[in-house]
Amino acid sequence: MSRVETVIAARKAAGSGALVGYLPVGFPDLQTSIDAAVALVENGVDIIELGLPYSDPVMDGPVIQRATQAALADGFKLGHGFDAVAAISARVDAPILVMTYWNPVLQYGVDRFADDLLAAGGAGLITPDLVADEAAGWLAASDRTGLDRVFLAAPSSTDARLRQSVEKSRGFVYAVSTMGITGARADVDQAARALVARLRTAGSTSACVGVGISTGDQVREVLGYADGAIVGSALVSALADGGVQAVARAAAALAAGTVATGPASE
């Protein structure tokens, strides 16, 4: 089992599931983004999803767009991503998955990217605009290095495509809760529950739900049927509004949803 799978399995064995927290590198500045990621872990986040700012983030809503644009305007370079992974893993044990659109990896060189990520202590990649069908180079590089590769599964995916996402993913499958882009939502879609059920049928033992989750109650609800809950925009908003202290509080509030409280909500 990979480190990410091990963490998820341990949280499940304890009667709950994993909390995955997203923050972009370089927002509001490199050092603060590192401190904020460390604060996530210190406040109950199990797995870090570290986003690399990209000029054309088509999966992201306004909150993450604003943060990553600010990071780019402030001079974010890909090298900072590896620096951040190394700096965070020197301070906390949680596995770090890097979330990146595909072109930066392609330009850096898929094999070189994999090698440098591994050397920095990273656990793998989440690739929002790379489907397994187009991923031959990354499948080979991740097999060679043992890095995790998280592909997406959507409510609109056919059963055959869900099976493919499950088979090709390592670490977990990213179940997109709703047809839409990142951003907090009052209701995490019923579609998420149905999607996770379909992923189970497709053989998944490690499915995390993301997009729209912003409260501890939603985390608890999701962990009632999924193996992990992924939170992004809510953390980025907290960091934008109140700095590291605020993001630490937000993480703690979300982590309250991972505390096993007897029987799951089902």
Closest of 68, 91, 93 to residue 80, by C-alpha = 68
Catalytic residue among 5, 46, 49, 148: 49
Please give the DSSP secondary-structure letter assigned to residue 170.
Answer: B
The answer to whether residue 93 is catalytic is: no
* Closer Cβ to other proteins, 151 or 172, answer by number: 151
Strand 148-150: give its sheet, edge to edge.
Answer: 148-150, 124-126, 96-99, 47-51, 18-24, 228-231, 207-210, 173-176, 152-153
Place of tokens 């690739």: 127
Cβ at position 140, least distance to other proteins in Å: 17
If 0-12 CB within 10 Å is exposed, 13-18 middle and 19+ buried, where does residue 210 land? buried
In one-letter notation, the amino acid at residue 257 is: G
Burial label, 90 (beta-carbon count in 10 A; 0-12, 13-18, 19+)? exposed
> Residue 249 CB, nearest distance to other proteins (Å)?
29
The one catalytic residue in 35, 46, 60, 189 is 60
Judged by CB under 8 A, the stretch of 42-50, 52-60, 87-95, 245-253 that binds other proteins is 52-60
Stretch of residues binding other proteins (CB under 8 A), selected from 32-40, 98-106, 226-234, 258-266? 98-106
| Contact between 85 and 120 (Cβ < 8 Å) | yes
Residue 241 within binding range of other proteins, rule CB under 8 A: no
Which residue number, 130 or 223, has a Cβ lying nearer to other proteins?
130
Q: Is 78 in the site for other proteins (CB under 8 A)?
A: yes
User: Cβ neighbours of residue 195 under 8 Å, at least 6 residues apart?
Assistant: 153, 154, 155, 175, 176, 177, 209
Q: Any catalytic annotation for residue 49?
A: yes
Site string for other proteins, 171-210 (x = CB under 8 A): -----x--xxx-----------------------------
Which of 56, 186, 262, 263 is the binder for other proteins (CB under 8 A)? 56
Residues assigned a catalytic role? 49, 60
The contact set with other proteins (CB under 8 A) reads 54-59, 61, 65, 69, 72, 77-78, 102-108, 128-131, 133-134, 151-158, 161, 165, 176, 179-181
